[in-house]
Structure 1
């Protein structure tokens, strides 16, 4: 799978500017976080790929067999494809900094890419991720800046699983910030503000 295998929306920037790659949630598309990305980093390049898996008409980045039950073979294949897509975009943009931002299913594909190819991203925002397996030790995660945002009453992403992911990343010596809100799978204003602070602190 090559770069052209994904439909995507992009805003090009001059070489040397940051590159922000945004990943939508289930049922979203390349427009879901594109405008938000432009607001976060107006001078950055923005790339928003569209998930190429349809689940009853809802776009996703990989298949699953049930809520929280992933098709791991499909996830591995699509993680490798997405990593190549990201690599191609980095080569074209020649950015100063590479930031990933994903929500829900988009956070999951972003996390999976980072676990397999940590050198591709300097910073990452994982909004309501669900990684229902124990990743292997990964020295390449050391020093990577990561923000995880989550709801303490999220019925889709159990808080205990979110905490396990954060603990794993800390154990790999990543620079991890964890933001909780009192709600569920929605994105409240406080979460948006936390993302903005994190992105701004890395500039």
Structure 2
């Protein structure tokens, strides 16, 4: 598997917090790059580009239909992303490791967390959909914010609540912030993400 293309920026200090940014389907490494500089000022940023094309739209893993994942491909690409994140963390030695992902980007970020619960100190998962039962893991001391739309047709409310319950059951400090819309990102969840990441 070829190395990820990515965009990066150094932090204000040698050991600044490092935030990884994962775009949604059809986005790219620029989708949240500038925004992250506002959410976590002074942080180092790394934004990998999804390396799967679905009818020309970039993604992080394959699917066979809406909400139906190619689980073998997800496992392969989760392992590759975990290696990528570990290598970038080792290079930078940050004070903390943060993650933010939207939709497909939230799904690959969550999948990395399931297999490597030690890797991220805090993550923001915006409109994730995990249509399978994640494995038991030890998330003690880790924090997760899920943001979701109450009427999201792609990531149903029950699935969002189940994911938060999973993280809580496995020791994470987890919370959910709702807006009264669908799958779109709204200002109130970005404000919640900034407050959460600033406090993490």
> Fold match, TM over 0.5?
yes
Q: How does 1:107-146 map to 2 (within 5 A)?
A: 107-139=106-138, 141-146=139-144
- Give, in angstroms, the shift of residue 137 of structure 1: 1.4
After superposition, give the CA deviation of every residue in 1:70-118 in whole Å (9 maximum; x if it has no partner): 0000000000000000001001111000000000000000000000001
Where 1:118 maps in the other structure, the secondary structure is coil
TM-score (norm 2): 0.97
Q: Does 1:184 align with 2:182?
A: yes
The two structures, once aligned, show a CA RMSD in angstroms of 1.0
Where 1:191 maps in the other structure, the secondary structure is helix
Alignment correspondent of 2:82: 83
TM-score (norm 1): 0.96
Alignment correspondent of 1:71: 70
- Give, in angstroms, the shift of residue 26 of structure 1: 0.2
Q: How does 1:159-174 map to 2 (within 5 A)?
A: 159-174=157-172
Alignment correspondent of 2:146: 148
**Post-superposition, which runs of at least 4 consecutive aligned residues in structure 1 deviate over 4 A?**
none
- Distance across 2 between alignment mates of 1:41 and 1:150: 21
- Distance across 1 between alignment mates of 2:140 and 2:156: 25
- Distance across 2 between alignment mates of 1:136 and 1:97: 24
Where 1:199 maps in the other structure, the secondary structure is helix
After superposition, give the CA deviation of every residue in 1:132-153 in whole Å (9 maximum; x if it has no partner): 01112112x1221000000000
Alignment correspondent of 1:44: 43
- Distance across 2 between alignment mates of 1:95 and 1:31: 22
- Distance across 2 between alignment mates of 1:53 and 1:72: 14
- Distance across 2 between alignment mates of 1:199 and 1:142: 17
- Distance across 2 between alignment mates of 1:109 and 1:117: 12
